[in-house]
Chain A
């Protein structure tokens, strides 16, 4: 296959139909941009969910009538559970002291309150290295079955909701990806059809002088590959600019910092660019196949 000539023809074709090619590339840019934003959102949502999940403690409230002697036994039981980093016992009195500190300026609120009205509790810190939302749920469930335990809290709903939302976003992402790929392939293949319609004479003549289908298709495939690669590359670049701008504008507040946001990892960027290029070529190949039948 004379690849040099094919490349030359491809660039001549792009030059002569610059506007059409630019419009197609623009469609690819927009398509990929939507996808990139979705992907960025999904990835960071997952990161936030993970991050907060890791920070969360499980709080085990004991029944008020649990005797002091039981505490070390329970402590040992909790520590022996896998995936737990740290356990702290908070007695009713400790809890009351915390409350006092919290209301240090309005001490009178607590005046006359029984200092043991709060239940004693264990605060459990999950080992971050072993963190996994389901494991947290299991541990909480396990502990809540014990007789001495009144209630277990772990910010369950919050984490669950975040997890569910993140899952939904991921599903939407997959749908969106499929839809966008088809759209891009469709648009690109239609542009190619227009170009090919305009060049039917040339294609016929090329065939009559003995051009193979590969020789005829080559330049179109090269052009659409370029559209796919450049379009998706531009989309990633634009998204990165927007992302950097947002981080610069808001990123130095401690709230934003606590979110630990990140841009798309390299493997995502590479996949987006490669898949975009391949799909544009695929769309073109399908459009051309119809034309090149004898």
Chain B
């Protein structure tokens, strides 16, 4: 279901070199249309996380250009970066949660930076946390949760502000079959509501029987699309 309109994410000859001998991405060309659900797969170390990091500006490309919603990321001023990040909900591979804060506080952060009013914020945060099945652990500290539960907190935080783009880096890495299916269903639902989703995973079962677009990354290059 590739749209004909202007792609929401576009990479042109993007390379990322971490060190002289670490070339994580090698001249990657990629277009993702608005409303697409894309799986990004490949063996460990292929550059999946790196590609996502370039999209939310945690890293800058060594060469090439990246466009998101028509914005050239290399020309983005420092004050525009927060604006971009608010459009991109990220589920980090290493969660990046505040372990000494409660589930509620972690998820609320995404809305606090947007200046949400307390009442509306509370309502929406609770709703999303219930959506990922942690309604009974709202005020538990994240450190007291299991790995799978923490992963779901990370998911809730990424989607609570309803961003048009969701980048998910191994969001099911710590989940059992049932939870994995739930997360994929949640992503499906968000996608159905219009969000563009890039889902990085090396779990083939997630996309083997779907009609979804799968991008295979190997040693920093796109092997299959």
Q: Is B9 an interface residue (CB 8 A)?
A: no
From B75-83, B145-153, B174-182, the one touching the partner chain is B75-83
Contact check: which of B58, B78, B83, B96 meets A210 at CB < 8 Å? B83
- Whether the pair B81, A294 counts as a contact (CB closer than 8 A) is yes
Distance, CA A205 to CA B113, complexed state (A): 11
Q: Is A204 an interface residue (CB 8 A)?
A: yes
- Whether the pair A209, B78 counts as a contact (CB closer than 8 A) is no
Chain B residues contacting A202 (CB-CB under 8 Å) are 98
Q: Is A1 an interface residue (CB 8 A)?
A: yes
B136 to chain A, nearest CB (A): 24
Q: Is A249 an interface residue (CB 8 A)?
A: no
Interface string of A201-224 (1 = CB under 8 A from B): 110111111111101000000000
Given known pairs A208-B85, A208-B90, A210-B85, the reply for A5 and B112 (CB within 8 Å) is yes
Chain A residues contacting B81 (CB-CB under 8 Å) are 207, 294
Given known pairs A2-B115, A5-B112, the reply for A211 and B82 (CB within 8 Å) is yes
Distance, CA A213 to CA B157, complexed state (A): 20
Distance, CA A208 to CA B86, complexed state (A): 9
Specify the main secondary structure of chain A where it touches its partner.
helix
Contact check: which of A2, A201, A204, A210 meets B82 at CB < 8 Å? A210
Distance, CA A1 to CA B112, complexed state (A): 10
Given known pairs A2-B112, A210-B114, A211-B113, the reply for A205 and B85 (CB within 8 Å) is no
- Whether the pair B82, A207 counts as a contact (CB closer than 8 A) is yes
Q: Is B104 an interface residue (CB 8 A)?
A: no
Distance, CA A4 to CA B112, complexed state (A): 10
Interface string of B59-96 (1 = CB under 8 A from A): 00000000000000000001101111110001010001
- Whether the pair B98, A208 counts as a contact (CB closer than 8 A) is no
Interface string of A7-37 (1 = CB under 8 A from B): 0000000000000000000000000000000
Chain A residues contacting B78 (CB-CB under 8 Å) are 213, 294
- Whether the pair B56, A208 counts as a contact (CB closer than 8 A) is yes
Interface string of B104-127 (1 = CB under 8 A from A): 000001101111101000000000
Inter-chain residue pair count (beta carbon < 8 A):
51
Given known pairs A2-B112, A2-B115, A215-B113, the reply for A205 and B82 (CB within 8 Å) is no
Distance, CA A211 to CA B98, complexed state (A): 15
Distance, CA A212 to CA B81, complexed state (A): 8
- Whether the pair A209, B85 counts as a contact (CB closer than 8 A) is yes
Chain B residues contacting A1 (CB-CB under 8 Å) are 115
Given known pairs A294-B78, A294-B81, the reply for A210 and B113 (CB within 8 Å) is yes
- Whether the pair A209, B157 counts as a contact (CB closer than 8 A) is yes
- Whether the pair A204, B115 counts as a contact (CB closer than 8 A) is no
Contact check: which of A5, A201, A209, A213 meets B110 at CB < 8 Å? A209
- Residues 235-294 (chain A) with a chain B CB within 8 angstroms: 294
- Whether the pair B82, A212 counts as a contact (CB closer than 8 A) is yes
- Whether the pair A208, B113 counts as a contact (CB closer than 8 A) is no
- Whether the pair A209, B115 counts as a contact (CB closer than 8 A) is no
- Whether the pair A205, B86 counts as a contact (CB closer than 8 A) is no
Distance, CA A222 to CA B26, complexed state (A): 46
Chain A residues contacting B109 (CB-CB under 8 Å) are 205-206, 209
Distance, CA A130 to CA B97, complexed state (A): 72
Chain A residues contacting B85 (CB-CB under 8 Å) are 207-210
Distance, CA A154 to CA B96, complexed state (A): 79
Pick the most buried of A1, A5, A205, A210: most chain B CB atoms within 10 A of its CB.
A210
- Whether the pair A5, B115 counts as a contact (CB closer than 8 A) is yes
Contact check: which of B96, B112, B115, B116 meets A208 at CB < 8 Å? B96
- Whether the pair A212, B113 counts as a contact (CB closer than 8 A) is yes
- Whether the pair A205, B96 counts as a contact (CB closer than 8 A) is yes
Distance, CA A204 to CA B56, complexed state (A): 13
Chain B residues contacting A5 (CB-CB under 8 Å) are 112, 115
Closest partner residue, chain A, to B115 (CB atom): A2
Given known pairs A211-B82, A212-B79, A294-B81, the reply for A206 and B96 (CB within 8 Å) is no
Closest partner residue, chain B, to A204 (CB atom): B96
Chain B residues contacting A4 (CB-CB under 8 Å) are 118
Chain B residues contacting A207 (CB-CB under 8 Å) are 81-82, 85
B89 to chain A, nearest CB (A): 8
Chain B residues contacting A206 (CB-CB under 8 Å) are 109, 113
- The 6 A-B residue pairs with the shortest CB-CB distance in the complex, in nearest-first order: A2-B115, A210-B86, A210-B85, A211-B113, A210-B82, A212-B82
Could you tell me which A residues sit within 8 Å of B by CB distance? 1-2, 4-5, 201-202, 204-213, 215, 294
Q: A208-B56, A294-B78, A294-B81 are in contact. List 8 more A-B contacts (CB 8 A).
A: A1-B115, A5-B112, A205-B96, A205-B97, A207-B85, A209-B113, A212-B113, A213-B78
